[in-house]
Amino acid sequence: MTKFFQLVASGAALGAVYALVGLGFVVIYRATGVINLAQAGMVALGAFLVYNATATWDLPFWLAVLVSMGLGALLGIVLERLVLRRMVGRPVYAVILVTVGILLLIEPIVTTIWKNPASNIESPWGLEKVTIGDVNILQVDIATILLAAAVLGVFFAFFRYTKYGVAMRATAVDQEAALAQGINVRRIVALSWAIAGVVAVLAGTMLGAGAGPGTGLGIGITVISLKALPAVVLGGLDSPLGAVVGGAIIGILEVLTAGYQSDVLPFLPGGFAAVMPWVVMLIVLVVRPYGLFGTRDVRRV
Partner 1 sequence: MARPSRRLVRNYSHDLRLIGTRRGQLFLVALLALYLWLPFQLDDFWASVLTLAGITAIGALGLNLLTGYTGQPSLGTAAFIGLGAFTASYCGRPEDYGGLGWSFPAYLAVAIVLGAGVGYLVGVPALRLRGNYLIIATLGLVFVAIYIWRSWEEVTGGNAGVPMPIDVEIFGLNFTNLEVFGETFGRNQGYFYLVWAVVALVALLCKNLVRSRPGRAFQAVRDRDVAAEVVGVSLFRTKVGAFVLSSAIATVGGVFYGIWIQYLVPDDSSLGLNLSISYLAIIIVGGVGTIYGPVIGALLIGAMPAIIDEFAGQLPFVSESATDPGISKPALQTLLYAILIIVFLVAEPNGLAGVWRRVRDYFATWPLAKRGS
Residues in contact with partner 1 by CB under 8 A are 35, 37, 83, 86-87, 90-94, 96-98, 100-105, 107-109, 111-112, 115-116, 223, 226, 229-230, 233, 237, 269-272, 274-275, 277-279, 281-282, 285-286, 289-290, 297, 299, 301
Is the distance from CB of 277 to CB of 250 less than 8 angstroms? Answer: yes
Q: What is the nearest approach in angstroms of partner 1 to the Cβ of residue 201?
A: 21
- The C-alpha angle 112, 118, 123, rounded to 5 degrees, equals 110
Q: What is the nearest approach in angstroms of partner 1 to the Cβ of residue 228?
A: 11
Closest CB to partner 1 among residues 112, 131: 112
Q: What is the nearest approach in angstroms of partner 1 to the Cβ of residue 93?
A: 5
How many angstroms separate the CA atoms of 61 and 157, rounded?
27
Is the distance from CB of 280 to CB of 250 less than 8 angstroms? Answer: yes
How many angstroms separate the CA atoms of 127 and 150, rounded?
22
Q: What is the nearest approach in angstroms of partner 1 to the Cβ of residue 191?
A: 22
Closest CB to partner 1 among residues 3, 86: 86
Is the distance from CB of 241 to CB of 292 less than 8 angstroms? Answer: no
Closest CB to partner 1 among residues 93, 161: 93
Is the distance from CB of 251 to CB of 212 less than 8 angstroms? Answer: yes
Q: What is the nearest approach in angstroms of partner 1 to the Cβ of residue 103?
A: 8
Closest CB to partner 1 among residues 29, 125: 29
Q: What is the nearest approach in angstroms of partner 1 to the Cβ of residue 281?
A: 6
Closest CB to partner 1 among residues 209, 281: 281
Closest CB to partner 1 among residues 161, 267: 267
Closest CB to partner 1 among residues 43, 65: 43
Closest CB to partner 1 among residues 116, 131: 116
**CB contact burial 189-223 (16+ within 10 A = b; e otherwise):** bbbbbbbbbbbbbbbbbbbbbbbbbbebbbbebbe
Q: What is the nearest approach in angstroms of partner 1 to the Cβ of residue 54?
A: 21
| Distances 236 to 9, 69, 166 between C-alpha atoms, Å | 24, 26, 20
* Residue 273: Cβ within 10 Å count: 19
Q: What is the nearest approach in angstroms of partner 1 to the Cβ of residue 100?
A: 6
